[in-house]
Amino acid sequence: MDLIRTALNQLKIDFSNIDEIYSGLKSDWLESNIGRTEIEFIDSFDFTKGYDIDSIDENEFTKDELESLERLSIYLGKKVSIVNWTKQDYLNRYVKDRSFGFFFFKVYKNQDFSILVKTLKDYREHYNFIFQHLSEEDKIEFKNDFCDQLTRLKQSQTQSKFIELLDIAHNSVNEHYLLNASSEIFAESIQPETPILDKIELYNHIFRDNAFVVWQSMFDDFQINESSRTDIKFMFEIMKNDGLIFPTVKQNDFLKWITNTYDGLIIEKTSNYSKTKERLVIYNKAKILLQAY
C-alpha cells in the first residue's frame, strides 16, 4: 500500500481529519503486519519514492496535495517523537542509519541525580538488546558510538557526582563489551552476559551498595543548604540506623565529605531532629529507588 498517496486522497484541505486518517491507516497496517510496531508503521510512509519534499516532481501533484504532503511530513515527524519506542524500534533505527537518540544533552542540576540514574538504566536495556543482535564487527562500532555519547554528556556536566556517575557508566560499557565480545581478539574473555550499568556504587566507602541514591534523593527533596542542620542530622542518623551508611562512618568525617562533594557546601555541625511525617515521607520515597537495583 502506498500510504502517502492513500493519505493524500483522504485528507481534507484544512487537514482537520489527519488524526482519524492516521488511526485508520495504522489499524489496517498493524493488522496486516502482525508483530510490527507503530514506529515501523510510520517508517512505511516512504518519502524516498517520489515524495521527497526537496526533490519532488511538482507536476505530479496538485497545489493542495503539495501543501498536504508537507504537512503530513511534519505530522509524522512529531509522531515519531511522542510514540513509545520498543527495543526493536531502537535496533531497527540503528541498523538502518547507525543513529540512536539515547541522550538528551543537558547540564544536570542537583535535583536531577535520580533522573539521570533512571535514564542510564533505561538506556542500558536498549543498549543490551541492540548489542545482542549485532554482528561482532558492528558491536565494536556500536560500543564506541555509545561511549562517545556518554563522553559528550559528561563533558557538559559541572558537578562531580554526575561526572563520576557517567565515568562509571562509560567503564561499564567497556567491561560489558570485553565480557561479551566473541571475536578472536577477545575469545579468552567470553563469559555469560552481564547487565551493563547495574552497579553505580558511588561513594561506596560511605554508603552500602547503591544507597547514595537514597541520600541524594533526600538531599534534593529537602533542598539542603548551610542552614539544614536538622535535616542533615535526620538523614545521616536514619540511614546509618538502617544500615545504608556504614557504622564506621563518623559524623565529622561525613560533614567533611559533604563539603568536598557539594562544591564547598559547609555544614559545621548538626542539630537534634524529630522524625516528622514530612521527613519520613521523603525518606520512604527515597528508599523506593533502591528497588531498581
Last residue of a domain, one of 84, 102, 130: 84
Measured distance CA(162)–CA(167) in Å, rounded:
9
Question: CB count, 10 Å around CB of 248?
Answer: 8
- Classify residue 217: in a domain, yes or no: yes
* Domain termination residue (choose one: 154, 189, 224): 189
Contact between 22 and 71 under an 8 Å Cβ cutoff? The reply is no
The number of residues making up the chain comes to 293
* 95 part of a folded domain: no
- Does residue 154 fall inside a structural domain? yes
Q: Is residue 169 part of a domain?
A: yes
Q: Are 70 and 8 part of one and the same domain?
A: yes
As a dihedral over the C-alpha atoms of residue 168, residue 174, residue 176, residue 179, rounded to 10 degrees, the angle is -140
CA 266 to chain centre: 32
Whether 285 and 221 have beta carbons less than 8 Å apart is answered as yes
Same domain, 185 and 216: no
Across 5-14, 135-144, 179-188, least confident range: 179-188
CB atoms within 10 A of CB 268: 9
Which of helix, strand or coil describes residue 120? helix
Note whether 185 and 246 are same-domain residues: no
Tens digit of each residue's pLDDT (9 = 90 or more) over 63-83: 888 888 889 989 998 998 888
Over residues 93-97, mean pLDDT: 85
Within-domain flag for 43: yes
245 neighbors 208 (Cβ within 8 angstroms): yes
Domain assignment of residue 244, yes or no: yes
Residue 104 lies in a domain: no
Mean per-residue pLDDT for 237-249?
93
- Domain span at residue 178 reads 111-189
Specify the residue for cell string 565480557: 179
- Tens digits of residue pLDDT in 257-276: 998 888 778 888 888 888 88
Domains: count for the chain? 3
Q: Is the dihedral of CA 203, 204, 207, 210 positive or negative?
A: positive
Residues 124 and 167 in one domain: yes
Residue 200 falls within a domain, yes or no?
no
For residue 60, what pLDDT band results from cuts at 50, 70 and 90? confident
User: Would you say 18 and 75 are in contact if contact means Cβ atoms under 8 Å apart?
Assistant: yes
